[in-house]
């Protein structure tokens, strides 16, 4: 059992995608992305990716397949299967228990549609073992500037998300809101390993760069 968060270093991509881009939907050369994913598989074993759409569908994975599921959370109870969630500002949430693991894509929409709760529900159907949450690199509260409308929408259901930029404009702290949600779901062990994607040049950030690659959170039994 283990978890790992990649950064943008150590791969084969060039230009704005340099260098360990794992996203096959961002405009990078497909063969190069495949070679980057091969580096991940060589280190972490067969790895299942997903077609993330800011929804809340949870896909249960029994074996790694080329049929990429459209989902925003992957769950498996099978040892030897590594699950991946790709991000470039959204939160890569990894969940693990003795019997199951999950990789969850939590952006602003994922927070509102409670994708993390749905993933935890599936894990608890597999086993009632205690679930641990690990939060990886994502944009921080003072950097995620949003419109007043979006701020009001999210803060209404998640008051913990209310934040502001250094210049005093509305922003959202999705990590604080997610931690609050996890605590309400009975998750006692929460390991926040986040670094701000926008502030750290060794991480991909869509908000900072526009055209850019994707790093990943990886989890396995």
pLDDT per residue as tens digits for the range 73-119: 999 999 999 999 999 999 999 999 999 999 999 999 999 999 999 99
Average of pLDDT values for 173-185?
A: 98
CB 144 within 8 A of CB 196: no
Q: What is the pLDDT of residues 194-217, one digit of tens each?
A: 999 999 999 999 999 999 999 999
Whether residue 148 lies inside any domain: the answer is: no
Whether residue 199 lies inside any domain: the answer is: yes
User: Residue 38 CB: number of other CB atoms within 10 A?
Assistant: 12
Whether residue 182 lies inside any domain: the answer is: no
Domain holding 69: CATH number?
3.60.140.10
Per cent of the chain over pLDDT 70 is 100
Whether residue 172 lies inside any domain: the answer is: no
pLDDT confidence bin for 11, thresholds 50/70/90:
very high
Whether residue 58 lies inside any domain: the answer is: yes
Whether residue 48 lies inside any domain: the answer is: yes
Whether residue 184 lies inside any domain: the answer is: no
Cα separation, 170 vs 109, in Å, equals 17
Query: Residue 46 has what pLDDT?
Result: 98
For 103, the domain range is 2-138+189-220
Who's near 199: CB < 8 A, 6+ residues apart?
Answer: 140, 143
Cα separation, 195 vs 139, in Å, equals 8
Q: Which residue has the tokens 């908000």?
A: 207
pTM here?
0.98
Whether residue 10 lies inside any domain: the answer is: yes
Angle at 138 between CA 136 and CA 183, to 5 degrees: 60
User: What domain count does the chain have?
Assistant: 1
């Amino acid at each position: 059992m283990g978890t790992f968060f990649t950064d943008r270093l150590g791969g084969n991509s060039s230009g704005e995608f340099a260098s360990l881009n794992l996203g096959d939907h961002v405009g990078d050369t497909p063969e190069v992305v495949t070679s980057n994913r091969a580096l991940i598989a060589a280190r972490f074993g067969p790895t299942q990716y997903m077609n993330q759409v800011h929804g809340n569908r949870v896909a249960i994975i029994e074996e790694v397949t080329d049929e990429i599921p459209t989902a925003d959370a992957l769950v498996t109870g099978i040892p030897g299967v590594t699950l991946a969630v790709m991000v470039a500002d959204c939160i890569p949430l990894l969940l693990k228990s003795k019997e199951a693991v999950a990789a969850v894509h939590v952006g602003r929409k994922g927070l509102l549609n409670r994708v993390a709760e749905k993933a935890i529900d599936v894990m608890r159907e597999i086993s009632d073992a205690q679930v641990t949450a690990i939060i990886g690199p994502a944009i921080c509260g003072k950097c995620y500037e949003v419109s007043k409308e979006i701020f009001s929408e999210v803060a209404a259901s998640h008051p913990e998300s209310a934040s502001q930029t250094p210049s005093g404009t509305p922003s959202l702290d999705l990590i604080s809101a997610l931690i609050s949600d996890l605590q309400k779901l009975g998750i006692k062990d929460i390991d926040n390993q986040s670094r701000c994607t926008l502030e750290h040049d060794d991480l991909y950030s869509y908000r900072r760069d526009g055209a850019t690659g994707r790093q990943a959170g990886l989890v396995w039994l």
